[in-house]
Amino acid sequence: MANDTKLSIAEKLGYGMGDAACGIVYSSVTMFLTWFYTDIYGLSAAAVGVMFLVTRVLDAITDPLTGIVADRVKTRWGHFRPWLIWFAIPYAVLAVMTFTTPAFSESGKLVYAYLTYTLLMLCYTFINIPYCALGGVITRDEKDRLSAQSYRFTISSVAGLMVSVATLFLVDYLGKDDKQFGFQATMGIMGAIAIVMLVFCFFSTKERVAPAVEQQSSIREDLRSLLANDQWRIVAIITFFSSMAGVMRGAATLYYATYLMMGGVESAAGTAMKSAFISTSVVGTIIGSIAAGWLAKRYRAVSLFKNINLLLVGVGVIMFFVPPTWLPVVFPLYFLVGFFHQMYQPFKWNMMANAADYGEWKFGRRITGLSYSGNLFALKMGMAVAGAVVGFSLGLFGYQAGVSVQTPMATMGIVGLLTLGPSLSYLVLWWLSRFYKLDDKAMATIQRDLSARQQANSTTVNAEPETVAGVLHKA
């Protein structure tokens, strides 16, 4: 069957390029935007925290709407691939505008920040939700899909490494003494690269998986089916806490490196140290993504996901007690954080695809776009809450932008945001994994049933197959 065609290496590479394009801007936002807003743009940490939280309210509407529309868009290129082309250029332009400081009053700058950041996240939604949904329709093969996700996160991690290594150097080189222009020009380069990657992803991938049963359902019915999907609900909560952990750590990293490792010193050596520290974690993510593909062939994905999160809790707690100036210890620990965090990402995203398949099997309708949009909403809510927590915490602990030495309270707050905050999220993820029941055995049975339905061209599914129900009950 065409729908079960194995993916070529070229298609896996092309699929990974799509996430790399998203990640170039996403990494810039998570690594540098909070610091840019407080130390260059001139906003207070509390104002930044409020903005990150408020702008996410719009996602409560746009995320599910994007998924619903994507499911219903039919073009000769598929449901999801065209979105990569339609919004590539606006995405790049808005990335530049977000890292631009206009000559406005304080209130005018705040309005501009709200507007550009909101529009950037909207474009991110219009690209990332269809892109993520694409991962669920390029193949039904479980191992092949996991392999594609491993390629995806390896390539996106390499893109993240490029951002972490090159950004601060490019800012200094292009901007000289004008860091604002340096950021603006750097994002122009990143945006151009993102456009090329999105085009490559569009032309190198195919949509093979169609609903087993053709459907004409209403939006209300689709939403009801989604919310009734117990495994989707678990995956959405997992996505929220995973996003919180990553964004909280990413937002705190530059503060940690600037004020605790370097003592607030601004110099070429300081820039090199900060880039090296950020890049250490990113190198870990690359190796972690590769390791995930190797481990997935040998061990149960659910067990790996659970145990990796427990390891992350331990590394975070240890790092909290290690002085930031102990560089020979801090660097390896931060490498391990990136390594383990990225290692479980392919498993998490495969959980999303499995939850969509499970929903199709259980309710007789495939709502891939809506399923992924709901997960992306959870991801961005995690981003928003983490960004707000970082902003509020910095203000609460007495952080002062631009000073060479922070107060002991502010120092402890920065360390906690980098270590204990993410560790708490990882502990929640470890606990949540016990409620996820779509293991390899259950999914093999579900996929056989879905393929049989498609072959038989069935029109109605009223009852759960006893074999699958038994598998899920035992899981």
Residue 234 has pLDDT above 70, yes or no: yes
Question: Is 94 a residue whose pLDDT tops 90?
Answer: yes
* pTM above threshold 0.75: no
The whole-number pLDDT of residue 313 equals 95
Question: What is the per-residue pLDDT across 418-437, written as a single tens digit (0 to 9) for each?
Answer: 999 999 999 999 999 989 98
Residue 266 placed within a domain: yes
Q: How many CB atoms lie within 10 A of CB 3?
A: 17
Per-residue pLDDT, averaged over 146-167, amounts to 83
CA angle 271, 167, 272 (to 5 degrees): 20
Whether residue 320 has pLDDT greater than 90: yes
The pLDDT of residue 127 is: 93
Domain membership flag for residue 244: yes
pLDDT band at residue 239 under the 50/70/90 scheme: very high
Give pLDDT, residue 333. 93
Q: With the CA atoms of 210, 212, 215 and 218 taken in that order, what torsion angle do they form, in degrees rounded to the nearest 10?
A: -80
Residue 302, pLDDT above cutoff 50: yes
Q: Is residue 465 part of a domain?
A: no
Amino acid identity of residue 74, one-letter, is K
Evaluate whether residue 55 is within a structural domain. Answer: yes
Say yes or no to pLDDT of 111 above 70.
yes
Q: What percent of the chain has pLDDT over 90?
A: 27
In a domain, 359, yes or no: yes
What does the block give as tokens for 208?
Answer: 């093979």
460 pLDDT tier (thresholds 50, 70, 90): very low
Q: Would the CA dihedral through 160, 165, 169, 174 be positive or negative?
A: negative
| pLDDT confidence of residue 120 | 92
DSSP secondary structure string, 181-195? HHHHHHHHHHHHHHH
CA dihedral 151, 157, 158, 164 (to 10 degrees): 170
171-222 confidence digits (pLDDT tens): 888 988 888 899 999 999 999 999 999 999 999 998 887 654 455 567 778 7
Q: Is residue 318 part of a domain?
A: yes
Domain range for 282: 8-205+219-438
Instruction: Please name which of 382, 397, 376, 413 lies closest in space to residue 70, comparing C-alpha atoms.
Output: 376
Quick one: pLDDT at residue 475? 44
User: Is residue 467 domain-resident?
Assistant: no
- Residue 312 is predicted with a pLDDT of 95
Question: Do residues 370 and 224 make contact, with C-beta atoms less than 8 angstroms apart?
Answer: no
* Residue whose structure tokens are 């560089």: 327
Tokens matching residue 475: 């899981």
Is the pLDDT at 404 greater than 80? The verdict is no
Q: Provide the CATH number for the domain around residue 86.
A: 1.20.1250.20
| Residue 115 pLDDT class (50, 70, 90 cuts) | very high
Q: Is the pLDDT of residue 271 over 80?
A: no
- What mean pLDDT is reported for the chain? 83
pLDDT for position 3: 44
Six token digits for residue 414 = 């920065």
pLDDT band at 2 (very low <50, low <70, confident <90, very high): very low
Does 456 reside within a domain?
Answer: no
Domain count, the chain: 1
pLDDT computed for residue 198 by the predictor: 95
- Cα–Cα distance between 336 and 340 in angstroms, integer? 6
